[in-house]
Amino acid sequence: MTVEWAASVLGLAFGFCLERGGLAFAPKLAAQFYLTDLTVFKVMFSALLTAMLGAFWLDKLGLMDLSQVAMPETFVLPQLVGGALFGAGFLIAGLCPGTSCVAAASGRLDGVAAIAGILAGVAAFNSAYGWIAPFYASTARGAIGFPELLGMSHGLGVALVTAMALGGFWAAERIERSRA
């Protein structure tokens, strides 16, 4: 039960922060694809960076057992196709699943429409699962991350992603300024 309460509190806090950050407003999200406002990129990458550094150091300091954290498995081709579909939906709706919930909760009808689209997609996927299943389970690589893929230590992988993120933030700010 603690998990459900924690998830509810974290979910509400996440939704509140998204709303306050203006991420429930589709034009702001769509602006990312036109390279005029890269807030989404910066928010997502800074969340990733915070979680990655936090998890790595909590594990190193013995405050958390990272091996107990579930890691989703990689299926290369199905996830590439899924990613492209997700991107297309994101571009069309101007919202992703989390932000569409926030948009709907704050009374925006496009958010409601996006949620309806998501539910329709879920229903279509589940109905066609028998047909899709072989592809869905193809090109399985197991629960691997960058370090395992590139044959490097976990710490070096963390350092590389940190460098990528900081480089990305710097580039994003420059792009925004040049487009302003």
Partner 1 sequence: MRERRILAVAAAVLGLGAAAADLRPSADVRHLATEIEAEADHISALDLGARIRSGEPDLRVLDLRSEAEFTSFHIPGARNVSLTKLAAERLPRQGTTVLYSEGGTHAAQAWVLLRVQGYGNVFVLREGIYEWISRVFQPRLAVDASAAERTEFARAAELSRFFGGTPLAGVPRSEVPQGYWTGATPASAPLIEKIHRRGC
Q: What residues contact residue 35 under an 8 Å CB cut-off, 6+ apart?
A: 175, 176, 179
Considering only residues 59 through 118, tell me which ones interact with partner 1, judged by CB under 8 A.
60, 65-68, 71
**What is the sign of the dihedral through the CA atoms of 96, 103, 25 and 12?**
negative
Q: Where are the beta strands (DSSP E) in 21-178?
A: 74-75, 140-142
Q: In this chain, which of 6, 58, 137, 166 binds partner 1, going by CB under 8 A? A: 166
161 near partner 1 (CB under 8 A): yes
> How far is it, in rounded angstroms, from Cα 108 to Cα 92?
16
Q: What residues contact residue 154 under an 8 Å CB cut-off, 6+ apart?
A: 56, 145, 147
**Please, which residue, 35 or 143, has the CB nearer to partner 1?**
143
Q: In this chain, which of 41, 118, 162, 176 binds partner 1, going by CB under 8 A? A: 162
Stretch that binds partner 1, among 15-23, 76-84, 94-102, 149-157 (CB under 8 A): 149-157
Q: How far is CA 14 from the centre of its chain?
A: 13
153 near partner 1 (CB under 8 A): yes
Residues near partner 1 (CB under 8 A) are 49, 53, 56-57, 60, 65-68, 71, 141-144, 148, 153-156, 158-159, 161-163, 165-166, 169
